[in-house]
């Protein structure tokens, strides 16, 4: 059976991200659109157009470095798609695009003086993200093992792909005393940068709604 007989490309739009399963390339693309609101804190100068553009480029670079190609999926089920992918894998990739309207997320970008601190956060229900101009810099967090740092923007993006309070995945920040994963210090949703299989839980829930009789499973994390 050739590729032409099987529909290998499938898409789905959701409130917080869009999915594109590209069976021809062995890739799943998760795309979010962000509508930026720019603010300045303390003595930081006003945002310039170039700074706004550079900020997004830097944030997306940080996100992709942490998350792109990490999840390796296998496919099970009775569908033609699953049969085609028997013994093969797909990898998951992320794309974030700035838009001026109709965005999945409203992102408040705070420009702060170099070396200052500003709290970043994500609210799944409200579809809001708060980031700042220091969030691309690796930071050593309290409790992190020796030599382990975290890129704050990559951690916050982890919330925006489903590791969030109110998400069906059912788990969020892992550094909290109440987290079942509080001892996994190297995890990106704790105080490190290591992506774990569970961090794709929400993505898999949505992927499994797209093609009938087709189930995606995280085989491994690169």
Partner 1 sequence: MVALAAITAGCTQAQTTQQDNGDDTMTEPEIVMELITQDYEAAVAKLGPPATQEDFRLSRGETEFRIELLNYYTEGQLRDAPPLMREATWTLSPDNNLTIWFAQRNGAWPFLHYQSWHPDDDF
Residue ranges binding partner 1 (CB under 8 A): 116-126, 139-144, 152, 155-156, 159, 163-166, 172-173, 175, 191
Taking a C-beta distance cutoff of 8 angstroms, is the pair 168, 41 a contact? no
Name which of 159 and 199 has its Cβ closer to partner 1.
Answer: 159
Name which of 50 and 177 has its Cβ closer to partner 1.
Answer: 177
DSSP character string of 70-91: -EEEEEEESSHHHHHTTT--EE
What is residue 129's three-state secondary structure?
Answer: strand
Query: Phi then psi for 189, rounded to 5 degrees?
Result: -90, 0
Q: Which residues contact 219 (CB under 8 A, 6 or more apart)?
A: 72, 73, 74, 89
Name which of 84 and 141 has its Cβ closer to partner 1.
Answer: 141
Q: How far is the CB of 80 from partner 1 (least distance, A)?
A: 39
Q: How far is the CB of 128 from partner 1 (least distance, A)?
A: 9
Half-sphere exposure in the Cβ direction for 24 (13 Å, CA): 9
With residue 204 as reference, give the H or E element that holds it: helix 201-207
Q: How far is the CB of 137 from partner 1 (least distance, A)?
A: 12
Q: How far is the CB of 65 from partner 1 (least distance, A)?
A: 19
Tokens of 150: 């975290």
């Amino acid at each position: 059976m050739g590729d032409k007989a099987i529909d290998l490309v499938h898409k789905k739009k959701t409130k917080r991200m869009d999915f594109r399963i590209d069976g021809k390339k062995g890739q799943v693309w998760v795309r979010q659109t962000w509508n930026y609101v720019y603010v300045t804190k303390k003595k930081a100068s006003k945002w310039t157009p170039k700074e706004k553009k550079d900020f997004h480029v830097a944030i997306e670079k940080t996100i992709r470095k942490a998350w792109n190609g990490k999840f390796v999926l296998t496919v099970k089920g009775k569908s033609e798609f699953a049969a085609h992918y028997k013994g093969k894998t797909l990898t998951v990739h992320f794309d974030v695009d700035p838009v001026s309207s109709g965005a999945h997320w409203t992102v408040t970008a705070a420009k702060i003086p170099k070396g200052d601190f500003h709290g970043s956060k994500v609210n799944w229900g409200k579809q809001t993200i708060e980031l700042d101009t220091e969030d691309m810099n690796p930071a050593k967090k309290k409790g992190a093992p020796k030599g382990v740092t975290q890129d704050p923007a990559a951690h916050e993006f982890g919330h925006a792909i489903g590791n969030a309070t109110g998400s069906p995945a059912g788990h969020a920040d892992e550094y909290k005393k109440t987290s079942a994963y509080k001892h996994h210090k190297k995890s990106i949703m704790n105080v490190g940068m290591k992506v774990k299989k569970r961090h794709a839980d929400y993505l898999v829930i949505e992927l499994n709604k797209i093609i009938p009789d087709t189930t995606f499973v995280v085989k491994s994390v690169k």
